[in-house]
Amino acid sequence: MVNVVKPKPDLNLLFKPRGIAIVGASHTEGKIGHTIVANIVSNGYSGGIYPINPRPGVIVGHKAFQSVEGIQADIDLGIISVPARFVKESIEDCGRAGVKFIVIISSGFGEVGKAALERELVTVAHSYGMRILGPNIFGIVYTPFNLNATFGPADIRPGNVGLISQSGALGIALMGKTIVDKLGLSTIVSLGNKSDLNEEELLEYLDKDPNTKVVLIYMEGTKTGRDLIALARDVVKRTPVVVIKSGSSKRGAKAAASHTGSLAGSDRVFESAFEQAGLLRAHTLEEAFNWVRVFATGAIPKGDRILILTDGGGVGVMATDACERHEVELISDYQYLNDVFGGIVPEFGSTKNPIDLTGQRGDDAYLEALEASLKAEKFDGVIALYCENAQSKVVELSGRIIELLARLDNSKPLTFAFIGGKQTQVALDILHENHVAAYDHPDEAVSSMGALMRWMRMTQKPNQPGIALDFNRERVMDIISNARSQGREQLLETEAKSIFEEIGLSVPKSMLARNFEECLDFSDQIGYPIVIKIASPDIIHKTEAGGIRLDLQTRAEVENAYRTMMSNITARYPKARIDGVVVNELVPKGVETIVGSTTDPSFGPVVMFGLGGIYVEVLKDVVFRVAPINHTEARSMVRSIHTFPLLYGARGEKVKDIEAIADALTRISQLICEVPDIAELDINPMTALDQGKGCKVVDARITLTHKESSTHSHQNCDTLIPKESSNRSHKDNESVSERECDAFVQGYLNSLNLQEEGK
């Protein structure tokens, strides 16, 4: 099959087609092909509508044609809803008629293992200059053009939220939910198997679409994670993007993969990648809808000084607590607060933030205070809480709020929490109808304000260029080629360290001694105290194998340690290839960290950081970033681990050299991007010394990709987390959950078995 360059028809023709052919438009009401035509017609689409069916007649008021090719009209969009075996010929029919975009509703392709057939459809479409949305989707909606080419609900509520859904069933359900929740949509695009058009292209379009203020993406997996990150970094500066990514649990990830045939990458990497790109990840549908609602108001925060206004002390406290959880800063200029609200708040209320009007002051005072808070310069956003009481006229109040906001032409970020009974629900509906971000719980009002604040911070983050890594690539490749020529995919520790030294990391003095005499000689040269480690491509976990001896103070101690190590190891691993021992300078005490990298199926090379020992083994307190990263990201990575206080001088220790860690992380991230032969690496430990003293690569491992693959191998990030060390018993871990313990013990046993097998 000829490889055709991906065509680039104007995406406007997908959302605003001049004519639509519906191939498989059915004469029978209730069939998918019939419902699609009915939805297109009932939503008032004004372009040409052309049902295609082998039988002549009229379908939902429109003449049926036997093929697209014969129709004398500008048809930009072809919707295909015929059984899978007829899809290819239908695409060709559309192609001959000059159609630009194909929406394939039909199932029966990649999601059921027929990936080759799916690729063939794309090739055929491209050969006619067409692009495909789907297959296995429910269609497309664009409300500004009255287009509803789906078999979902007919009565979509117009608005400014763009919804992109990988899941069909959920997408349809979300369409329904937006109607009930009174959330207006500009567009809904179903992506399904993403054979051709994907999130990136659609996001790029919606970012430029004046009718879309916020985008909500439901995603199960992506094969083009790096493209998404690169694009999103720019898009989110203008258009906030909320993402729901399913498949975060191991079981969920499996379900996602079988559902659409897509790859579900490691969830930790997704989490980090979204954060890097400025995508706001919501963990529930409710949360996503709440956030989208506030973004849909179009409010753009200018700062982070937030005010809480309330008519009830209790909800005020709840909201204050929630502010801490959702990183919302409360303004605490008490003089200013008193100046603004002193005349409105009763004596028994409070002019501290939250401003507590109490239930007795009534709706007039509530509105007066709301108006004052929206007008006051120093408040960048307002969270207004309202508890319905016996005197409340909450429905009337909602109307008055809408009038007030219109009169002030308010653009200040504002979220409401209305708490109460039936009347409150009516009031909330009215507020939603009028595009006000109102919720029925203080936490939701705060969480939504928090999302707005996070978005603001992300848009203000300066774009920092990455560092250009200056290293002798040839030397690195020589080391790799040498290992490959010996049939090794695992570099020796000395080789790995040479590479790290080459990219500018600080490696303790180290020499490979091939025999006993060299070992003594090199120990003298390096100077005591020293460390010796076994050098063998077959022994990866050296500590467990008894292949490391630390703090050897004299020549005699070295002599003794060498002889014991060699006799133990040759007895235990008789088949292991032994290259000698590595003689190392002893690194002063510091904090042991771990730096690693792997290749994620969705995002490619990723870098990992955490503290060593139990922090990584038991607590799994590590963070990932998609490589490459710059210094700012590297610093934020260091701060993101839960145990970061241990690096910042906790328990009377000196602050460690954070800058040196960040520098090492940026260099490693560049290395793995520039040398795709590296599948995985870890420096464990990389000892962080006191501030100004740097950090040292104490132990290092680099695994190469399989010889035949020129790109990164696909490894899960969890493989970076080292196995339990042998000197910790199951009992030592009793404070950890039983499941964690079992996993560790199992992991440890597996690692030993592997080594035994490799003997």
Question: Which residues lie near ligand ACO (CB under 6 A)?
Answer: 23-24, 26-28, 31-33, 52-54, 81-83, 86, 90, 105-108, 136-138, 168-169, 172
Chain residue at closest Cβ approach to ligand ACO? 168
Task: Calculate the alpha carbon distances from 264 to 170, 221, 599, 610, 714 in Å.
Answer: 17, 4, 14, 24, 12
CB 681 within 8 A of CB 496: yes
Token readout for 170 is 């959920």
Phi, psi of 374 (to 5 degrees): -75, -30
Task: Name which of 80 and 431 has its Cβ closer to ligand ACO.
Answer: 80
Smallest gap from residue 481 Cβ to ligand ACO (A): 49
Classify 679 in phi/psi space as left (phi over 0), alpha (psi -120 to 50) or beta: alpha
Q: What is the DSSP letter of 752?
A: H
SS3 626: strand
Smallest gap from residue 569 Cβ to ligand ACO (A): 58
Task: Name which of 124 and 616 has its Cβ closer to ligand ACO.
Answer: 124
| Residue labelled with tokens 């790029």 | 204
Smallest gap from residue 194 Cβ to ligand ACO (A): 13
Task: Name which of 174 and 530 has its Cβ closer to ligand ACO.
Answer: 174
- Cα–Cα distance between 212 and 240 in angstroms, integer? 10
Task: Name which of 14 and 700 has its Cβ closer to ligand ACO.
Answer: 14
Cis peptide before 645 (omega within 30 of 0): no
Token readout for 504 is 């500018």
Smallest gap from residue 190 Cβ to ligand ACO (A): 6
Task: Name which of 36 and 578 has its Cβ closer to ligand ACO.
Answer: 36
Task: Name which of 169 and 650 has its Cβ closer to ligand ACO.
Answer: 169
Taking the chain, what is the end-to-end CA distance rounded to the nearest angstrom? 47
Task: Name which of 51 and 605 has its Cβ closer to ligand ACO.
Answer: 51
What does the DSSP assignment read for 234-253? HHTTTS-EEEEE---SHHHH
Smallest gap from residue 165 Cβ to ligand ACO (A): 9
Smallest gap from residue 123 Cβ to ligand ACO (A): 19
Task: Name which of 24 and 605 has its Cβ closer to ligand ACO.
Answer: 24
Smallest gap from residue 88 Cβ to ligand ACO (A): 10
Choose among 109, 87, 81: nearest CA to 20: 81
Smallest gap from residue 74 Cβ to ligand ACO (A): 20
| Residue labelled with tokens 């899978």 | 84
Smallest gap from residue 478 Cβ to ligand ACO (A): 53
**Interacting residues of 76 by C-beta distance below 8 A, sequence separation 6+:** 13, 14, 17, 18, 19, 20, 99, 100, 101
Is residue 486 exposed (0-12), middle (13-18) or buried (19+ Cβ within 10 Å)?
Answer: exposed
Task: Name which of 175 and 288 has its Cβ closer to ligand ACO.
Answer: 175
Q: Which amino acid is at 428?
A: L
Smallest gap from residue 186 Cβ to ligand ACO (A): 20
**Interacting residues of 663 by C-beta distance below 8 A, sequence separation 6+:** 504, 631, 634
Task: Name which of 187 and 669 has its Cβ closer to ligand ACO.
Answer: 187
Task: Name which of 179 and 520 has its Cβ closer to ligand ACO.
Answer: 179
CA angle in degrees (0–180, nearest 5) for 728-266-686: 45
Choose among 294, 236, 244: nearest CA to 458: 236
Task: Name which of 150 and 506 has its Cβ closer to ligand ACO.
Answer: 150
Smallest gap from residue 187 Cβ to ligand ACO (A): 17
Q: What is the DSSP letter of 327?
A: T
Smallest gap from residue 105 Cβ to ligand ACO (A): 5
Task: Name which of 17 and 33 has its Cβ closer to ligand ACO.
Answer: 33
Radius of gyration, alpha carbons of the chain:
31
CB 715 within 8 A of CB 599: yes
**Torsion from C-alpha of 530, 531, 537, 541, nearest 10 degrees:** -160
Smallest gap from residue 114 Cβ to ligand ACO (A): 12
Smallest gap from residue 198 Cβ to ligand ACO (A): 17
- The alpha-helical segments, DSSP class H, found in 376-441 are 394-408, 422-433
Task: Name which of 86 and 516 has its Cβ closer to ligand ACO.
Answer: 86
Token readout for 538 is 């077959």
CB 207 within 8 A of CB 231: no
